[in-house]
Amino acid sequence: MKTESVTLAVNFPFPLLTLVVFTPWLGAALLAVLRRASPATSRAVTLLFSLSTLVFSVFLLDSFNPASVAPQFVERHTWISALNVHYHLGLDGLSLLLVLLTGIITPVALLASWRVSTSPRLFGALFLLIQGAALGVFLALDFFHWFLFWELSLFPAFFLIKLWGGPGASRAAYQFVIYTIGGSAFMLLGFAALFAVTGTLDFHQLAQYASDGTLAAKLPGGTLHLVFLGVLLGLAVKVPLWPFHTWLPAAYSEAPTGASMFLTGVMSKMGVYGFLRILWPIFPTPLHEATPWLLALALGGVVFGAFAAMKQTDLKRLVAYSSVNHLSYCLLALFAVSYATGRGAPVGTAAAAALSGTLLQMFNHGLSAAALFACVGILEARSGGRRGLADFGGVRTVAPVFAGLCGIAMFSSLGLPGLNGFVGEFLIFRGVFGLDPAAAAIATLGLLATALFLLTFWQRVFHGPRAGAAAGAGFKDVSGVELATLVPLVALMFVFGLLPHLLTGLFNPLITSWADHLTLP
């Protein structure tokens, strides 16, 4: 994939992207200073600063030019001149989509955690830290500070899981950090090798070197493939690509509800973003050569992730394995495009469909998965910590509003036409079928299994006679805060399901540019 040179970047006179990244961190610093703040004040400050991303997104949308595929609102300043490191931020359609997603998910995740009573000030500060780190990953264009943001996102997540998680939280938190840091170490070594031979860590400059053959000339033989493998491992663990997913079910299920929402809604997208922003432009030839194996792994995530979800009796683990399944669709599309490109097959229309579906799936999965984790959190709160399939029954009769909202989120995840989940999955299958029909056929097994486990969830928990926790008089319908958590997500499921052009209009020119330049150097 060829990319625009950095010299074509669209500069902006005001450091808007810096404000996007660091305003949540200012909120975290303020919470650190307000040592005597009441829990209500701490929650209000946290929510206010978390909303900053959504507010700044309005300004970004107003000034963003979707017809330009070059980075916009660019900020580039020399940082460490001896290492040729620059503070370099920029935004295109892909980045804007994920900034919007972060701006939506973070406030609702905090609302889902509104009743956290243990150290709400620390909880809020950690949440704002992880929000700013994720935004930095989506906007940084130099590996040096991109990697700093990437690593800084781990530590707030670790403490959110460990301090506010379930009975197995400590083990899950350590497993999460060890896996991710292990992958990051290989990625760091890979970029150290790139810097040693090119003298730059700028993503666009490295992509240009890959496009004109400079990179292959400087890293002859198998060296380039070893560097590629290191970067691949770092990103594969983050998504995660099957079978590097084993940390995910424990982390997602043990994390508190709001953290689970952020992990699946935002942090999992950081890995897919890395494939698009880093791996594909900088390593097109090694990626093509590895795609037969990577396609098989992506199919493993699609099929085995869905069938693993079918076997779960813990509702949070069920939703966690569902995330493995849904994100594997994104990787399936990317690898199918890369594979077809390397074979010299005509890929224009099919590639554009697959890539558009990937970006939509990233965004729409964030909404539906976050909503499902919020629903499981409500069930858990009502039942004194229980969240098994057998712990509920007939919830619809005692909580009809909650049942309706949760049902919409389920059917969005299932890909029901009219809801947001349908559009991305349809485009992915449309594209993959045109590129690799066999892979598309195998992946339909994942669709079947997804329908089975989500409908089982729906039938067991919400229908039938009242049983388990739902039989008690204390099981009430959604509260005002819970409505504020779920209603925005459900409303957006309808909006983007019926009007997907609101999202595709942000990145269609970028996708067209990618599809037109899908050639190997």
- The answer to whether 290 and 230 have CB atoms below 8 angstroms apart is no
Q: What percent of the chain has pLDDT over 70?
A: 93
CA 124-125-129 angle, 5° bins: 115
DSSP-based helix, strand, coil % in the chain, nearest 5: 75, 5, 20
Q: What's the pTM?
A: 0.90
What are all long-range contacts of 148-152, with beta carbons under 8 Å and residues at least 24 apart?
Answer: 149/21, 150/184, 150/270, 151/181, 151/184
104 band by pLDDT with thresholds 50, 70 and 90: very high
374 band by pLDDT with thresholds 50, 70 and 90: very high
The β-bridge partners of 75 are 89
- The answer to whether 449 and 300 have CB atoms below 8 angstroms apart is no
pLDDT (mean) for 151-162: 91
Mean of the per-residue pLDDT values for the chain?
86
pLDDT at 382 over 70: yes
3-state secondary structure 261-321: HHHHHHHHHHHHHHHHHHHHHHCHHHHHHHHHHHHHHHHHHHHHHHHHHHCCCEHHHHHHH
12 band by pLDDT with thresholds 50, 70 and 90: low
Query: Which two tokens mark 57?
Result: 């997104």
385 band by pLDDT with thresholds 50, 70 and 90: confident
The β-bridge partners of 87 are 77
pLDDT at 470 over 60: no
pLDDT at 90 over 60: yes
> Which residues does 21 contact at the CB level (< 8 Å), separation at least 6?
89, 132, 135, 136, 139, 149
Peptide bond into 249 cis (omega under 30): no
Which DSSP letter does residue 500 get? T
> Which residues does 293 contact at the CB level (< 8 Å), separation at least 6?
none
pLDDT at 115 over 50: yes
Q: Give the pLDDT score at 11.
A: 54
pLDDT at 105 over 90: yes
pLDDT (mean) for 157-175: 88
pLDDT tens across 306-327, in order?
Answer: 888 888 888 888 998 888 888 8
Alpha-carbon distance 216 to 218, whole Å? Answer: 6
Domain boundaries, the chain: 284-521
127 band by pLDDT with thresholds 50, 70 and 90: very high
Q: Give the pLDDT score at 253.
A: 87
Query: Which two tokens mark 501?
Result: 């052009």
Query: Which two tokens mark 6?
Result: 């950095």
Picking from 92-106, 266-280, 357-371, 461-475, which range would have the lowest pLDDT averaged per residue?
461-475
